[in-house]
């Protein structure tokens, strides 16, 4: 049994032959299922102008998730701060706490947008200081800014930074927890650079009132199936979408495995499929458990954030359940009292 916090990130991925509204409703349904399975936290994300992702408005989507759940922590992974004024983000998430008190987390990132037209539409091509915006956002939530934002939060709203190497530096300076993924984890490649960046984050961390100690969560695709071959198949739809994005500039809806297998991929697309699939962890329960144990020990992470998606929603639900069991969760286990206390920043 693995000992760490366990969270689920759902990006509201669309499927071929299905519309955006279906994807958003499925996210809310998955949150309710995650709560039933004993997950500690449920995250949603922010993407704009992406055909394969329906989740564009984290605060609005989280309101729907809050209405369908009662105990699981809910949050954003994340709100892209270059797209917003810090005051508005503080107001949105303070409003959420009125409907889900002491359950709301605010993860923020700095991605400027998927394509140049999207960046222009978002006005995110303007120069912004991420660290300054993040500090201002924290002050608004704490009530220490030059103006007092309303509504005032009903309880604390813990802040998290979706961190690249630069993001780790900012988080350390401000005394904030981080969520890391991708190259920093070194799942498929040399882990040394990522480990060095995490060590620097911990070594230079400046304690804050909300988070006296550095705190790391790791995020990646994790899929469990009865056989290794079936688990690898579950990784394929997301890997193929990433390969298309890198070779055509369009990030499409997820497709069935059979449809992908019938396609004639270019050499570049095959390479990108392999790279994306190798960045995740897939296999049987025993295989995944061993690899996750190594990852959690190597990174010193206090929490796993699984960002898995695949075309087959039923298989995805089975994988979510198997992962929860791997972490010792049981259906209908409360994820509010003990889990909320464990996962909120230690000074919150």
* pLDDT tens track for 199-237: 999 999 999 998 999 999 999 999 999 999 999 999 999
Q: Is residue 259 part of a domain?
A: no
Q: Is residue 268 part of a domain?
A: no
Q: Is residue 94 part of a domain?
A: yes
Mean pLDDT of the 77-84 span: 92
Which pLDDT score is estimated for 338?
41
Preceding amide of 6 cis, omega within 30: no
- Quote the number of domains for the chain: 1
Query: Average pLDDT over the chain, rounded to whole?
Result: 91
Q: Is residue 10 part of a domain?
A: yes
Mean pLDDT of the 35-64 span: 96
Within 10 angstroms of residue 71's Cβ, the number of other Cβ atoms is 16
| The overall pTM is greater than 0.85 | yes
> What CATH number should be reported for the domain holding residue 117?
3.20.20.30
Mean pLDDT of the 35-44 span: 98
DSSP 8-state assignment for residue 182: G
Q: Is residue 264 part of a domain?
A: no
pLDDT at 335 over 50: no
What is the domain extent for residue 22? Answer: 5-221+287-342
Residue closest to 114 by CA, chosen among 240, 243, 12, 249: 249
Residue closest to 274 by CA, chosen among 263, 264, 286, 265: 265
What band does 253 get if pLDDT is binned at 50, 70 and 90?
A: very high
Strands (E), the chain: 5-10, 41-44, 73-80, 104-109, 159-162, 178-181, 216-220, 222-224, 281-283, 303-306
Q: Is residue 321 part of a domain?
A: yes
Of all residues in the chain, the percent with pLDDT exceeding 90 is: 79
What band does 182 get if pLDDT is binned at 50, 70 and 90?
A: confident
Question: 41 has which bridge partners?
Answer: 7, 73
Q: Is residue 254 part of a domain?
A: no
Tokens 């199936």 found at: 225
Which pLDDT score is estimated for 340?
44
Q: Is residue 237 part of a domain?
A: no
Mean pLDDT of the 124-138 span: 86
| Dihedral sign for Cα atoms in the order 139, 145, 148, 149 | negative
SS3 21: helix
């Amino acid at each position: 049994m693995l000992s760490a916090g366990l969270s689920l990130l759902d990006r509201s991925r669309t499927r071929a032959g299905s519309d955006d509204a279906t994807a958003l409703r499925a996210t809310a349904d998955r949150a309710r299922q995650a709560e039933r399975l004993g997950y500690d936290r449920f995250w949603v994300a922010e993407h704009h102008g992406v055909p394969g992702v329906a989740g564009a408005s984290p605060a609005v989507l989280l309101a729907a998730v809050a209405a369908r759940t009662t105990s699981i922590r809910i949050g954003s992974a994340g709100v892209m701060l270059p797209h917003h004024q810090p005051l508005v983000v503080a107001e949105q998430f303070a409003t959420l706490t009125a409907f889900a008190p002491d359950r709301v987390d605010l993860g923020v990132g700095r991605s400027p947008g998927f394509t140049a037209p999207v960046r222009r539409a978002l006005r995110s091509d303007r120069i912004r200081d991420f660290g300054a915006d993040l500090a201002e956002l924290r002050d608004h939530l704490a009530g220490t800014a030059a103006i007092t934002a309303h509504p005032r939060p009903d309880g604390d709203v813990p802040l998290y930074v979706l961190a690249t190497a630069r993001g780790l530096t900012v988080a350390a300076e401000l005394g904030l927890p981080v969520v890391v993924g991708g190259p920093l984890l070194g799942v498929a490649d040399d882990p040394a650079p990522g480990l060095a960046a995490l060590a620097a984050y911990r070594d230079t961390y400046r304690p804050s009132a909300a988070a006296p100690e550095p705190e790391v969560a790791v995020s990646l695709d994790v899929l469990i199936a009865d056989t290794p071959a079936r688990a690898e198949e579950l990784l394929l739809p997301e890997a193929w979408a990433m390969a298309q994005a890198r070779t055509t500039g369009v990030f499409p809806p997820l497709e069935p495995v059979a449809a992908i297998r019938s396609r004639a991929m270019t050499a570049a697309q095959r390479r990108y499929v392999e790279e994306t699939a190798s960045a995740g962890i897939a296999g049987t329960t025993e295989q995944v458990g061993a690899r996750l144990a190594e990852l959690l020990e190597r990174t010193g992470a206090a929490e796993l954030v699984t960002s898995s998606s695949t075309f087959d929603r039923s298989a995805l639900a089975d994988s979510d359940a198997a992962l929860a069991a791997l972490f010792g969760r049981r259906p209908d286990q409360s994820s509010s009292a003990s889990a909320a206390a464990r996962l909120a920043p230690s000074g919150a």
